[in-house]
Amino acid sequence: MPARFNPAPGWPAAPDGWTPEPGWKPDPSWPPAPPGWQLWVDDASLAPDQPVDPSHAPASTSAGPSDESQRPWYKKKRFIIPGSLVVLTILFASLGGGNEPSSDAADLATPDRVEQTAPEKPSADELAAEAEAERVAAEEKAAEDAAKAAEEAAQAEADRVTAEQEAAAAAAAEAAKGTVSQQNAYRSAQSYLSFKGFSRAGLIGQLTSEYGDGYPAGDAEFAVARLEAESAVDWNAEAAEAAKSYLEFTSFSRQGLIDQLTSQYGDEFTPEQAEYGVSQTGL
């Protein structure tokens, strides 16, 4: 009776008349064959793709174990040994690679085959949180801008006040110089003081005298007051200079020199100034 290939459960059916090539092994993706499974049977009554349970395999009709030709094909050594090797090969293959995914499954698991899903839309809570964060950021930006604007306005006001103060000071300084006539009287007073010693009254008299400069009394007073404000004149030093000048031309007693310095017809120094000036001469 011809033998045919009996695939294990889960294996694909073999074509009619198919025989394995030398070195053939089951596909690792196939499930392992049950222990003791017969890959070759001579039961012609089964359908080509119907597996045969080993418990229903036909029994041997041989009269004795020595008659090799009378044994069923599945009990013959030339079939048993190769079949056992095939079963062991299948068993080892199933143990070593039964857990490996099939090439189709591996292909499906690769990123190229993973179906791209649409990005998840943000929820209402997420949108609300984002809007709130944007609102807070906008308020903080507005507050920063307002603070910066206030600072700039304060700086501008401070600059304006400073400019006004500087302008007022410049105007006051210009006013302190006086009118043109007053400025001329000031320069004349400086010139007189560089020539000889003058008392305050004597200098004003020289500036206003018709035999002197003839300045108005107000202009002469302004010029002398400006000299005093600028600390440009020391009346004690002027009295000492006048006393020394008198002694260079004639002889004076101490009292006589004091009287000359204080006389209205002389220099018109105050008594204190005259006393100081005379003391500086050694009298």
What's the angle, vertex CA 78, arms to CA 74 and CA 82, rounded to 5? Answer: 85
Closest CA to 248 of 196, 182, 173, 177: 196
Give the separation between CA 275 and CA 283, rounded to whole angstroms.
10
* Residue range 68-81, pLDDT digits in tens: 444 554 454 555 55
φ, ψ of residue 196 in degrees (nearest 5): -155, 175
What own/partner pairs with CB < 8 Å and gap ≥ 24 does 12-21 have? 13/48, 13/49, 14/48, 16/48, 20/86
| CA atoms lying within 13 Å on the CB side of residue 273 | 22
62 close to 70: Cβ distance less than 8 angstroms: yes
Which pLDDT does position 159 carry in this prediction?
A: 95
Which pLDDT does position 13 carry in this prediction?
A: 84
What's the angle, vertex CA 152, arms to CA 150 and CA 156, rounded to 5? Answer: 115
Domain map (residue ranges) of the chain: 4-98, 180-279
Angle between helices 254-262 and 271-279 (to 10 degrees): 140
Angle between helices 200-208 and 180-195 (to 10 degrees): 120
Which pLDDT does position 78 carry in this prediction?
A: 53
Which pLDDT does position 36 carry in this prediction?
A: 87
Which pLDDT does position 19 carry in this prediction?
A: 80
Per this entry, what is the length of the chain? Answer: 283
Residues of the chain with pLDDT under 70: 1-2, 43-87, 91-117
Global model pTM greater than 0.85 = no
Give the separation between CA 34 and CA 87, rounded to whole angstroms.
9
Give the separation between CA 158 and CA 164, rounded to whole angstroms.
10
φ, ψ of residue 40 in degrees (nearest 5): -130, 130
Buried-exposed string 62-96: b where 16+ CB fall within 10 A, e elsewhere: eeeeeeeeebbebbeeebeeebeebbeebbebbee
